[in-house]
Chain A
Amino acid sequence: MRAQIKSVFCALLGLAAASIASPANAQTTAYAVGQGSPNQIVLTIPVKASVGGRCGFKAGTAPSGTYNQPNFDVTGLNHDFVFELDCTGPSRVAVVSTNGGLKTAGSVPAGYTTLAPYTVALNLVGSSATATDSCLAATLVTGSTCAFLGPASTSVGLRLAASSINQSGSYLRVTAPPYSAASPQLVAGSYADTLTVTISASP
């Protein structure tokens, strides 16, 4: 019985230390009834908490999917990936490109290229503000310079200075003009890139 009481006290002490993180009090022993005094220990446990801002993509509306454009060197690129934010306060959205452009496998012949540039535009719509910016995909790789190069954090990414709940109109847009007149010449093949979009609250 005495051991059980000590165990209870031990747990309570843990909670107390966790909640107030104050210096440990001198140890007090509580005894079972009839085996000594005191028979109980009173602890005061202040509880402090806060509710952090909720921020993410609205369920089921995160930017996703595949945009396939055959013969994009002739037609160019133009597609919007729409999404909705679900943030109770300001937020930041950032993007990372896997390849820094549409890339096809294989070596790069002199005078030709296996990497097709394109532009990524980000448009965020909030309850009382909007934010928009664009960068070349080449600047969306780690270590590059785009203002919304990810991953997003409280200080990294395109900032939307307002909450955004059930707001439509946000999108990630990929565009490029026809490449035929560009130099160097794209080689024939299948090209691909992946954009990873992250979001963070930005108090």
Chain B
Amino acid sequence: MKKLACLAVASASLLAFASPAAAQDVTGTVNITGTVAGKCLVQPGAGSTFGTTVALGELAQSDGTLATDLATRFTNIGAAGLEARVVCTTAAPTIAIDATEITSATLPVTGYANRIDFTAHVAVDTTTTNDVPFSNSSTVAPLAATLIGGRLANNGSNNITVTADSFATPNATDLLVAATDYTGKIVVVIGPGV
């Protein structure tokens, strides 16, 4: 037993004296934290708006009633301006649409019209589904903020496309009053949701 103790003393001493003193190593720890808020951006440029002006030109046919090709003209004239790339940092963004009829300040009499209603359509690409459809007619209340149903696609391509159709006067036989101030609009709001 004593021999064993003797060996232990010798070994411990060897370890203690045979190694050089260790350098003093110490550690510091820093934490970096931050947040990214829910938001939607128009890319490129991280803007907040997109859109264009669609000048439809002559709205009436030669007989004075509403032209029948306004949906096609809307798409062709609006062209790239009717598309946008919008990204949201959130997983459940929303969309709201408000289509306002095309009107003139010139008041009509019976058999005439100064109002053209239409339906606005917005197709939205998400990360899982292309062309998720939403719409609003100028004859009804605006579409309130509605869940799009997925995170907006962010693949470098446009993911919002606006179209319009179903242009109509209150009566199909109405003649449009002559005026140069016909205006309407489509407002699309993409929100981050919650």
Q: Which positions in A face B, CB cutoff 8 Å?
A: 3, 6-7, 10-11, 13-15, 17-19, 21, 50-57, 62-73, 77, 79, 81, 83, 102, 104, 109-112, 116, 118, 151-152, 154, 172, 174, 179-181, 183-201
Q: What are 11 A-B contacts with C-beta separation under 8 Å?
A: A13-B10, A18-B18, A63-B29, A104-B36, A181-B44, A183-B156, A187-B36, A191-B33, A191-B34, A192-B31, A196-B28
In the bound complex, do residue A112 and residue B151 qualify as a contact, i.e. CB atoms below 8 Å apart? yes
In the bound complex, do residue A65 and residue B39 qualify as a contact, i.e. CB atoms below 8 Å apart? no
Tell me the complex Cα distance, A118–B29, Å. Answer: 17
With a CB–CB cut-off of 8 A, which chain B residues contact A180? 41, 46
With a CB–CB cut-off of 8 A, which chain B residues contact A151? 25
The segment out of B83-91, B95-103, B175-183 that lies at the interface is B83-91
Given A52-B22, A180-B41, decide whether A194 and B32 contact each other with a Cβ distance below 8 A: yes
In the bound complex, do residue B24 and residue A184 qualify as a contact, i.e. CB atoms below 8 Å apart? no
In the bound complex, do residue A53 and residue B36 qualify as a contact, i.e. CB atoms below 8 Å apart? no
In the bound complex, do residue B23 and residue A110 qualify as a contact, i.e. CB atoms below 8 Å apart? no
In the bound complex, do residue B23 and residue A201 qualify as a contact, i.e. CB atoms below 8 Å apart? yes
Question: B46's contact among A77, A181, A188, by CB below 8 Å, is which?
Answer: A181
With a CB–CB cut-off of 8 A, which chain A residues contact B13? 14-15, 17-19
CB proximity of A122 to chain B, nearest CB, Å: 12
In the bound complex, do residue A10 and residue B34 qualify as a contact, i.e. CB atoms below 8 Å apart? no
In the bound complex, do residue A109 and residue B34 qualify as a contact, i.e. CB atoms below 8 Å apart? no
Q: Residue B192 at the A interface, CB < 8 A? A: yes
Question: A188's contact among B5, B25, B39, B45, by CB below 8 Å, is which?
Answer: B39
With a CB–CB cut-off of 8 A, which chain B residues contact A154? 23
In the bound complex, do residue B32 and residue A67 qualify as a contact, i.e. CB atoms below 8 Å apart? yes
Summed over the interface, the residue pairs from A and B with CB atoms below 8 Å come to a total of: 189
In the bound complex, do residue A190 and residue B10 qualify as a contact, i.e. CB atoms below 8 Å apart? no
Tell me the complex Cα distance, A154–B23, Å. Answer: 9
Closest B residue by C-beta to A70: B35
Closest A residue by C-beta to B41: A180
Q: Residue B38 at the A interface, CB < 8 A? A: yes
In the bound complex, do residue B2 and residue A109 qualify as a contact, i.e. CB atoms below 8 Å apart? no
Given A18-B17, A54-B24, decide whether A195 and B89 contact each other with a Cβ distance below 8 A: no
Tell me the complex Cα distance, A199–B33, Å. Answer: 24
With a CB–CB cut-off of 8 A, which chain A residues contact B34? 68-72, 77, 102, 116, 190-192
With a CB–CB cut-off of 8 A, which chain A residues contact B27? 62, 196-199
In the bound complex, do residue A194 and residue B29 qualify as a contact, i.e. CB atoms below 8 Å apart? yes
Closest B residue by C-beta to A99: B32
In the bound complex, do residue A197 and residue B23 qualify as a contact, i.e. CB atoms below 8 Å apart? no
In the bound complex, do residue A200 and residue B9 qualify as a contact, i.e. CB atoms below 8 Å apart? no
